[in-house]
Amino acid sequence: MSGLLITFEGIEGVGKSTLQHALADALKKRGKEVLLTREPGGTQLGEQLRAAILSADHMHVTPMAELLVMFAARAQHVAEVIQPALAKGTLILCDRFSDTSFAYQGGGRQIPFAWIESLVKMTHADVQPHLTFWLDLPVAQALARAKKRSAADRIEQETVDFFQQARECYAARALAEPKRIVRLDATGTPEQLLQQSLEIIEKIQ
């Protein structure tokens, strides 16, 4: 029996982590074996790379260095965590995956999408999300929410234009892959988003 990889995407402040954890609780109550994980991170190496690349102490990271660190963490995450969990039949809920790289490093940083696609093929050609929830909000509203959280990391300090380009990239990817990427209106309440997500997951199991 193979598992499912469900990912959560969106710009900062849209409520990805809130929905991810609420879904995990609801699915566990239904008897599902659920694994919560995140990117960059998910492994000891990945968490160390996350801390380095997101640190506000490192404000002059080049776009290419940023991209390669993200995929280094992803390669380890896929091999060490995701592939074994899928083989066991686990339902994986992952906060961010390669769609983030297309949106942030591709849309935001203007790195050619073809280069990012090459890294996808190198690191996880055989592992793709079965379902992606894209939580969408207007940029100004999302960033206002994000500011209410803890101190902003390096990427959270980016410009409105950066996040607008990232949002537009998410929209384009959702249009290109409507069977995989489901847009959720993040102006909804956490309860509404949870119910919508559960109904969608039930249809693919």
**Per-residue confidence band for 29, with pLDDT thresholds at 50, 70 and 90:** very high
Average pLDDT over residues 24-40: 96
**CA triplet 113, 71, 109: central angle to 5 degrees?**
40
**Does pLDDT of 67 surpass 60?**
yes
3-state secondary structure of 38: strand
Average pLDDT (116-133) is 97
Mean of the pLDDT values across residues 95-108? Answer: 98
Model confidence band, residue 120 (pLDDT cutoffs 50, 70, 90)? very high
Closest to 43 measured CA to CA, from 16, 7, 96, 81 = 81
Asked if pLDDT for residue 57 goes beyond 70, the answer is yes
Question: All domains of the chain, ordered by start, with CATH?
Answer: 4-204 (3.40.50.300)
**Distance between CA atoms of 89 and 159, rounded to whole angstroms?**
40
The DSSP bridge pattern shows strands 131-136 and 181-185 to be parallel
From residue 112, alpha-carbon distances to 12, 106, 107, 115 in Å are 22, 6, 9, 6
**How many CB atoms lie under 10 A from the CB of residue 106?**
24
Cα–Cα distance for residue pair 70/74, rounded to 1 Å: 6
Confidence category of residue 1, pLDDT binned at 50, 70, 90: low
Q: Look up residue 101 and give its two tokens.
A: 């790289």
